[in-house]
A and B are shown apart, each in its own frame.
Chain A
Amino acid sequence: MQKANAAQQPSSNRRPGARLAWIGQGFLLLLAIMVVIILGRNLIDNPELFIQIIISGLQLGFVYALIALGYTMVYGIVKLINFAHGDVFMVGAFVSYYAVARFQLHVWPSAFFPDLDPLVTVTLGSLSVILLSMITCAALAITIERVAYKPLRDAPRIAALITAIGVSFFLEFFGALSFVFSPRFIPYQRPFDVVTWYIKDGIYLVEPGKAPPAGSITFSNILLIIAVASILVQVFLQFLVRKTKIGKAMRAVAFDKPTARLMGINVDAIITTTFAIGAAFAGLGGVLYAIAYSSIWSQLGILPGLKAFVAAVLGGIGSIPGAFIGALIMGQAESLTAGYISTPMRDAIAFTILILVLLVRPTGIFGEPEKEKA
């Protein structure tokens, strides 16, 4: 009888502390309630401002999502925090800066086809700038992977991590040399004009040079472009990973490299491809970030890179939808912190959230559960 009883309640008698889980849960609940109260009060006080903050958070979140995808894919496949990813993002922004400000790449369609509709010209021009950035970033990532990471694939993981930090430093400070990029903030010239709308009993265009009426919510074409790009990339990657042969190979490599190799998968090629895809989308993110915030410098990539990584961890590292959701949460958290608590603390919030989420759910929101270890 006693045995049967014990079998039902395995861990009660020797673990008196397990019953005290409520202390920690209570603490977290208290934090959550505080957040809800602060947000709720502000929502009631000034709903327009609240929505405006949400919108700016969305914009940030969608950019983070583009960077986070690269982190999550690379980490999923080689278990490496690719610190240099944020700097690839920076390179993407600078490539587009040079393409636009120095070489006027964004107006090439009007040079060749003067009769085209201006909208088509701008779209084609901007797309080619973005494409150039994406290709450059992919090429850069392939080079980094081949030169720095591949020789260390069998070394301890931490050696690769330190190498990644080294690569990141190199890009930041090499970029800081005046003949490369810039050690200071420089204004970024957008390939197209910003169009802003405001919402107040309907959606209206904000006339250039005029302020939108008080109490209205504004949003711009940049937000729309970033959102559309980010969602398209998300859908594309889902398709790539789930439906195509290369996606299947990626999943196989992520799961078990030696076996994948035995199955005839070219593991090195898959890893390089993963780096390239991630970097291409970081390049896209870099261009969009520069367009949105219109000021760039050589250390531009560090903090967005870190926050995007945090977003990827938050969503469950290795999971593409997880990275997307995590990035959106991160964007909101940052925007709301800056809006309602204090602007400087918005960098702190990302890491606080990371720690809290990992403590409650060590594998992130979409992470896989515990597996058997040998």
Chain B
Amino acid sequence: MTTPTLPPTLEIAGLTKFFGGLRAVNNFGLALKPGDLAGLIGPNGAGKTTVFNMITGVYQVSGGDIRFQGESITGLEPHEITQLGVARTFQNIRLFANLTVLDNVRIAYHTHAGYGMLDAILRTATYSAKEKEITERAQDFLAIFKLENIQNEFAKNLPYGQQRRVEIARALASNPRLLLLDEPAAGMNPREIVTLMELIHFVRDRFNLTILLIEHQMRVVMGICEHITVMDFGEVIARGTPKEIQGNAQVIEAYLGKGVPGAA
């Protein structure tokens, strides 16, 4: 399964979440090797985003364990988890709306900015050098995502597709090993989706990442994911390659049973 030197990037076992009496996620399990590009699918309300929220520490875990690169991250604060190397995007894009695109990305460098508040107040040489480095790195990221021309725009003024790209750029700028994408293709037109799929592949290879994504657009999931985990009612109902999943009777039932055909 895994090479002895590299522990699995993500290893989840028995993950459970209660909201009051409601069991939103039950005994969820998942393992990702370094470099995997995996998908998490399921009907609405299946608990996919809740799993993301628990991996990133936004929700407290009710039970189970999450290991990242061999170490347990269960119960850590979100910022601690991010600092260890997990980054994510949100289903309903959560950019810093009143900040510029450049500042959105520069915020990701905060934890390794390399200078303190005193440097900033006194405007020391360290401040100038590090601030320049941060800015340049952020601009390089924007260039990769073809956003360099709008770096001084406010995030809230961007069209939807660009906001998604800024969010992914921002997540990558925090230098993650594992990237969680929550419905990256939502609201995109077919042409944008093709670009997005290429982008995800490119990002994975270029930054040597492990990627887990939630997606409703079956074209995306089946097109780029190597493994797929299917959830329904908070439980894993199937796992496998896209081919296996497409033929899985339980999965088809979960989707059709809800009256919603999977493919869009």
Contact = CB atoms under 8 A, between A and B. Distances in A.
Contacts of A207: none
B59 to A, nearest CB: 9
A10 B75 contact: yes
B61 A11 contact: yes
B113 to A, nearest CB: 25
B50 A10 contact: no
Interface string B15-33: 0000110101000000000
B76 interface: yes
Interface residues of A, number: 16
Interface string A11-55: 101110010000000000000000000000000000000000000
B14 A7 contact: yes
Contacts of B24: 372
A253 B24 CA distance: 25
Given A7-B64, A10-B63, A10-B74, A372 B14 contact: no
Contacts of B195: none
Contacts of A369: 20
Nearest to A7: B14
Given A7-B14, A14-B73, A372 B19 contact: yes
Given A10-B65, A14-B74, A18-B75, A371 B92 contact: no
Interface string A206-236: 0000000000000000000000000000000
Contacts of A13: 72
Interface residues of B, number: 20
Contacts of B74: 6, 10-11, 14
Contacts of A18: 75
Contacts of B67: 6
A371 to B, nearest CB: 7
A370 B53 CA distance: 15
A7 B66 CA distance: 9
Interface string B149-193: 000000000000000000000000000000000000000000000
Interface of A is mostly: loop
B75 A7 contact: no
A147 B92 CA distance: 34
Contact of B63 (A7, A370, A372, A374): A7
A14 B92 contact: no
A11 B60 CA distance: 10
Contact of B50 (A7, A371, A372): A372
A7 B13 contact: yes
A184 B73 CA distance: 61
Contacts of B22: 372
A3 interface: yes
A10 B19 contact: no
A353 to B, nearest CB: 27
B72 A3 contact: no
Contacts of B64: 6-7, 10
B156 to A, nearest CB: 13
A7 B71 CA distance: 14
A14 B65 CA distance: 12
A15 B75 CA distance: 7
A370 B59 CA distance: 11
Which of A3, A18, A371, A372: most chain B Cβ within 10 A? Answer: A372
A14 B13 contact: no
A2 to B, nearest CB: 9
A14 B14 contact: no
A14 B71 CA distance: 9
Interface in B21-67: 22, 24, 50, 61, 63-65, 67
A67 to B, nearest CB: 31
Contact of A3 (B65, B75, B91): B65
Contacts of B14: 3-4, 6-7
24 contacts: A3-B13, A3-B14, A3-B65, A4-B14, A6-B65, A6-B67, A6-B72, A6-B74, A7-B14, A7-B63, A7-B64, A8-B63, A10-B61, A10-B63, A10-B64, A11-B74, A14-B75, A14-B76, A15-B76, A18-B75, A371-B19, A372-B22, A372-B24, A372-B50
Given A11-B61, A11-B75, 15 more contacts: A3-B14, A4-B14, A6-B64, A6-B74, A8-B63, A10-B61, A10-B74, A14-B72, A15-B75, A18-B75, A370-B20, A371-B19, A372-B19, A372-B22, A372-B50
